[in-house]
Amino acid sequence: MLLAEGQKVELERDYNVKPVPFSKVTVRDNFWTPRLETSRNVTIPYAFTMCEETGRIRNFEKAAGLQQGNHEGIHFDDSDVYKIMEGAAYSLQVNPEKMMRLYLDKLVTVMKAAQWEDGYLFTFYSLPERQPEKRWTNIQWNHEQYCMGHMYEAAVAHYQVTGDDTFLNIARKNADLICETFAPGRRTDPPGHQEIEIGLCKLYRATGDKKYLSQAKFFLDQRGRKGNRGPNGDGGLYGTYGQDHIPVTEQTTAVGHSVRAAYLYTGMADVAALTGNMEYIKAIDAIWKDVVDTKLYVTGGIGAAGGHEGFGGQYELPNMTAYCETCASIANILWNHRMFLMHNDAKYIDVLERVLYNAALSGISMEGDRFFYPNVLESIGQHSRSPWFGCACCPSNVARFVPSVPGYAYAHKDSDVYVNLFISGQTSIETAKNKVKLSQQTEYPWNGKVTIGVEPEKSEVFAIYIRIPGWARNQCVPSDLYGFQTAVDEQSSLKVNDKQISPRIEKGFARLERQWQMGDTIELDLPMPVRRIIAHQNIKTDRGKVALQRGPVMFCLEWPDNKDGVLNLVIPDNAKLTTEYRADLLGGVMVIAGKAQVAKRTNDGNIVSAGEKPFTAIPYYAWAHRGQGQMTVWPAREPEAARPEPADTLTYRSKTTASFVHVSLDAIKDQILPDNSSDSSAMQLDFWPHKGTNEWLQFDWDQEHKISSVKVYWFDDTGRGECHLPKTWRALYRDTKGNFKPVNNKNSYDTDKDTFNKVDFEPVKTNSIKIEIILQEDCSAGIQEVVIE
Ligand SMILES: [Zn+2]
């Protein structure tokens, strides 16, 4: 069954609240218009070019028989092409450009030729020739279904925008094969990387074919199923990493790979809305609470650990090693949007807005062609945006996400309408029996004044729900994970036709119910003083620190505005903060300025405050546009929490070299002590991937010094990585003839965890100390800190 152009599918049920699609929202906004234009003019064409250069599009051409050769790149590279096509379709809807349309149609033609007779389409198993025996043999890691899910999303977008069903038919043919292959009594293992669940729901909405909805539900229900016993004897095949440890309806906490997880929760919300299944809703409600209570970064990012690209434990939110993958931010927005549509509660939009203006926007440069994969909250200069990645999930996700942003601004339910985000422009909302035109005028996010013109086609009684953001009600996030240090007395104010009103606040919305007429005007004023955020005391890395927020925007301190570093600065609670709009800076941004104390480390290891210095903070999303250097979202408010320059010790003064460097050589003399050997938050030097080798460190000085001890704090990430305590080590000194000789040690060379291993020796006069380290067989090793005295 295919639908005629423009024909609407009637579904039995869907979300209570209906989003107003981005295609119905015209944006004329000083903040968002430049971003939408950059996405259209730079990001999408650039991402297609990168797909051509890296062989991603060639793979389809070869699979279509237009060229010969092997598959290039990673097995799931097809997904990137689909995602950019989805973004291109969205951008076509707003700006019908002939060249873009032709380019898309050409790709669709190639894909049609690359599709197998039975509907299979995955270039990795199509090259150099079709390998039918190999398909579906590694769905855990090869991600056929992840790619196919993105194909469905792109195909639905293409169909809705162009009315041409060629791509949609390719997707349907493929989905029919999926439905045949994965079914009770046939294949029952769940997809390795969630996404197809969302794609199948979209396919159902576009075609009305219930089979696709049932298939999405089938995939959800295979996850964690007892019959799929994995190698570890747990419920499913992929364990917590793939949210496959227990059935999804029994899950209550966010675990594992965070993009997989948030796509899963999004898919569960969709299937719940389309089927009325309450079990899914119960589960995602609990998981959402777990995330917002304990696993959300102040930027809205999720995913604390790089090892599994996923959620850490409760309150485990390190800043410098934060993962916060750009894809996870986008997935978090998709999920929270669905949660709002289901529960019509503004707290989900509060989280969505926090991600949008911070962790998501930081993933793409303002020029539109440089990207972050992880979005850290602190840097000592090791981070910069990249032009592309071997695994390019993030750039291609950004390419489809940015054009969709206007689609999060409005929604409606029966006769009522919702204003969720504040973006200048217009929308026309078809409600139950009326058509309501809304036009917004605002300088958000820099100014909290929003004017909304209301033009209902028919004058009638209905409610306009205006979101009063949590931050404007002195609630930082919808939990106690972060709080504002002091409540702001100034309240937001609302006027209708110049008359002050005090409407009831329902689930975070001001409910304005009245007989609306053409020409009515709503004026909202959200006070935007700088708010200081203090984290829950269980977040260890944020103790003694403060974060600055103004409106929905998180700020950070970055080196170009604070020349002598930012990690050594302390912003006391009583420091006066001022704001200024700087049109000349970073495309026009608000900055926060004030006076900070400078923290200094003394030779005895204490940190003291030494003088005052002005500081400037910029919006977090705008960092990393001026080169590499220090940055922090969480500057210290107490000297002990600062990270001052090391004191001028003998070790610090040495010229240090090593046989091999992984992570940071400076880390071994930065005088920042870890909590234990496995603590990677303070950085370490390790020799990974070297294993079982002999390694060395050397410390040289211009002149001779009398030295009588060396102490080493070992790094050991057993359970997480491959660094273990070394087999043995020893210290040597350079004698007057220039030869290295072992020192005469008075005690043994220990390799104890979680402490300094100190060796005293008969004093030597030397200009060089060498430490030799013999690694355990098949293991690497690392060093947290070295002190030579
Ligand atoms: Zn990604």
pLDDT digits (tens, 9 = 90+) for 544-597: 999 999 999 999 999 999 988 999 999 999 999 999 999 999 999 999 999 999
Reading the block at residue 501, the tokens are 């009103």
CB 639 within 8 A of CB 575: no
Rounded to the nearest whole angstrom, what is the distance from the C-alpha of residue 297 to the centroid of ligand 1?
17
Give the mean model confidence (pLDDT) for residues 700-723. Answer: 93
CB 157 within 8 A of CB 163: no
pLDDT at residue 365 greater than cutoff 90: yes
Of the candidates 643, 410, 661, the one whose C-alpha atom is nearest the C-alpha of residue 545 is 643
* Tens-digit pLDDT profile for residues 624-641: 999 999 999 999 999 999
Cα-based angle 6, 10, 11 (whole degrees, multiple of 5): 135
Q: Which of 280-294, 451-465, 710-724 has the weakest average pLDDT?
A: 710-724
Whole-number Å distance between alpha carbons of 39 and 29: 15
Report the pLDDT value the prediction gives residue 586, as an integer from 0 to 100: 96
Rounded to the nearest whole angstrom, what is the distance from the C-alpha of residue 402 to the centroid of ligand 1?
15
pLDDT at residue 6 greater than cutoff 70: no
Task: Kindly provide the b/e burial profile for residues 199-228, where b requires at least 16 CB atoms within 10 angstroms of the residue's own CB.
Answer: bbbbbbbbbbbebbbbbbbbbbbbbbbeeb
Report the pLDDT value the prediction gives residue 2, as an integer from 0 to 100: 43
User: Could you tell me what percent of the chain has a pLDDT over 70?
Assistant: 98
Report the pLDDT value the prediction gives residue 234, as an integer from 0 to 100: 53
Rounded to the nearest whole angstrom, what is the distance from the C-alpha of residue 100 to the centroid of ligand 1?
25
Rounded to the nearest whole angstrom, what is the distance from the C-alpha of residue 593 to the centroid of ligand 1?
34
Amino acid in position 481: L
Rounded to the nearest whole angstrom, what is the distance from the C-alpha of residue 393 to the centroid of ligand 1?
4
User: Could you tell me what percent of the chain has a pLDDT over 90?
Assistant: 88
Rounded to the nearest whole angstrom, what is the distance from the C-alpha of residue 327 to the centroid of ligand 1?
4
3-state secondary structure of 676: coil
Rounded to the nearest whole angstrom, what is the distance from the C-alpha of residue 389 to the centroid of ligand 1?
9
Reading the block at residue 574, the tokens are 């009583």
Rounded to the nearest whole angstrom, what is the distance from the C-alpha of residue 589 to the centroid of ligand 1?
27
3-state secondary structure of 139: coil
Whole-number Å distance between alpha carbons of 303 and 329: 9
pLDDT at residue 16 greater than cutoff 80: yes
The helix (run of H) or strand (run of E) holding residue 346 is helix 346-354
Rounded to the nearest whole angstrom, what is the distance from the C-alpha of residue 372 to the centroid of ligand 1?
9
What pLDDT band is residue 605 in, cutting at 50, 70 and 90? confident
Give the mean model confidence (pLDDT) for residues 182-198. Answer: 94
Whole-number Å distance between alpha carbons of 600 and 560: 20
* Tens-digit pLDDT profile for residues 400-440: 999 999 999 999 999 999 999 999 999 999 999 999 999 99
3-state secondary structure of 156: helix
Rounded to the nearest whole angstrom, what is the distance from the C-alpha of residue 142 to the centroid of ligand 1?
16
| DSSP letter, residue 4 | P
Q: Which of 21-35, 646-660, 669-683, 725-739 has the weakest average pLDDT?
A: 669-683
Amino acid in position 257: H
Report the pLDDT value the prediction gives residue 10, as an integer from 0 to 100: 82
Whole-number Å distance between alpha carbons of 55 and 395: 16
pLDDT at residue 73 greater than cutoff 50: yes
Report the pLDDT value the prediction gives residue 230, as an integer from 0 to 100: 54
User: Per DSSP, what are the bridge partners of residue 548?
Assistant: 532
Report the pLDDT value the prediction gives residue 3, as an integer from 0 to 100: 46
Start-to-end CA distance of the chain, whole Å, equals 81
Q: Which residues contact 24 (CB under 8 A, 6 or more apart)?
A: 427, 428, 429
Give the mean model confidence (pLDDT) for residues 24-40. Answer: 96
3-state secondary structure of 271: helix
Give the mean model confidence (pLDDT) for residues 245-260. Answer: 94
Backbone angles phi, psi at 712, to 5 degrees: -125, 135
Report the pLDDT value the prediction gives residue 336, as an integer from 0 to 100: 98
pLDDT at residue 672 greater than cutoff 90: no
Rounded to the nearest whole angstrom, what is the distance from the C-alpha of residue 326 to the centroid of ligand 1?
6
| DSSP letter, residue 41 | I
User: Per DSSP, what are the bridge partners of residue 413?
Assistant: 416
Rounded to the nearest whole angstrom, what is the distance from the C-alpha of residue 363 to the centroid of ligand 1?
10
Reading the block at residue 680, the tokens are 């990677």
Give the mean model confidence (pLDDT) for residues 93-99. Answer: 89
Rounded to the nearest whole angstrom, what is the distance from the C-alpha of residue 342 to the centroid of ligand 1?
26
Q: Are strands 460-467 and 416-419 parallel, antiparallel or unpaired?
A: parallel
Rounded to the nearest whole angstrom, what is the distance from the C-alpha of residue 360 to the centroid of ligand 1?
11
What pLDDT band is residue 1 in, cutting at 50, 70 and 90? very low
Rounded to the nearest whole angstrom, what is the distance from the C-alpha of residue 83 to the centroid of ligand 1?
12
Rounded to the nearest whole angstrom, what is the distance from the C-alpha of residue 238 to the centroid of ligand 1?
20
The helix (run of H) or strand (run of E) holding residue 221 is helix 210-222
CA 35 to chain centre: 18
Q: Exposed, middle or buried: residue 754 (CB in 10 Å: 0-12, 13-18, 19+)?
A: middle
| DSSP letter, residue 481 | S
pLDDT at residue 373 greater than cutoff 60: yes
Rounded to the nearest whole angstrom, what is the distance from the C-alpha of residue 359 to the centroid of ligand 1?
13
Backbone angles phi, psi at 182, to 5 degrees: -105, 100
Rounded to the nearest whole angstrom, what is the distance from the C-alpha of residue 488 to the centroid of ligand 1?
37
Whole-number Å distance between alpha carbons of 513 and 153: 37
Rounded to the nearest whole angstrom, what is the distance from the C-alpha of residue 392 to the centroid of ligand 1?
7
Whole-number Å distance between alpha carbons of 780 and 102: 53
Rounded to the nearest whole angstrom, what is the distance from the C-alpha of residue 301 to the centroid of ligand 1?
13
Whole-number Å distance between alpha carbons of 641 and 693: 37
Rounded to the nearest whole angstrom, what is the distance from the C-alpha of residue 324 to the centroid of ligand 1?
10
Report the pLDDT value the prediction gives residue 307, as an integer from 0 to 100: 73
The chain-wide mean pLDDT, for the chain, equals 94
Rounded to the nearest whole angstrom, what is the distance from the C-alpha of residue 759 to the centroid of ligand 1?
46
pLDDT at residue 747 greater than cutoff 80: yes
CB 385 within 8 A of CB 394: no
Rounded to the nearest whole angstrom, what is the distance from the C-alpha of residue 398 to the centroid of ligand 1?
9
Whole-number Å distance between alpha carbons of 149 and 496: 45
Backbone angles phi, psi at 762, to 5 degrees: -60, 130
Handedness of CA 158, 161, 162, 164 (dihedral sign): positive
pLDDT at residue 678 greater than cutoff 50: yes
Give the mean model confidence (pLDDT) for residues 47-53. Answer: 97
User: Per DSSP, what are the bridge partners of residue 25?
Assistant: 427
pLDDT at residue 350 greater than cutoff 90: yes
Whole-number Å distance between alpha carbons of 767 and 733: 8
Whole-number Å distance between alpha carbons of 654 and 438: 66
Give the mean model confidence (pLDDT) for residues 122-140. Answer: 95
What pLDDT band is residue 225 in, cutting at 50, 70 and 90? confident
SS (H, E, C) 432-458: CCCEEEEEEEECCCCCCEEEEEEEECC
pTM comes to 0.90
Report the pLDDT value the prediction gives residue 337, as an integer from 0 to 100: 98
Query: Which residue's entry shows tokens 């359970």?
Result: 719
Rounded to the nearest whole angstrom, what is the distance from the C-alpha of residue 307 to the centroid of ligand 1?
14
3-state secondary structure of 224: coil
pLDDT at residue 8 greater than cutoff 80: no
pLDDT at residue 229 greater than cutoff 80: no
Of the candidates 551, 502, 395, the one whose C-alpha atom is nearest the C-alpha of residue 83 is 395
Rounded to the nearest whole angstrom, what is the distance from the C-alpha of residue 223 to the centroid of ligand 1?
22
Rounded to the nearest whole angstrom, what is the distance from the C-alpha of residue 247 to the centroid of ligand 1?
26
Rounded to the nearest whole angstrom, what is the distance from the C-alpha of residue 634 to the centroid of ligand 1?
24
pLDDT at residue 233 greater than cutoff 90: no
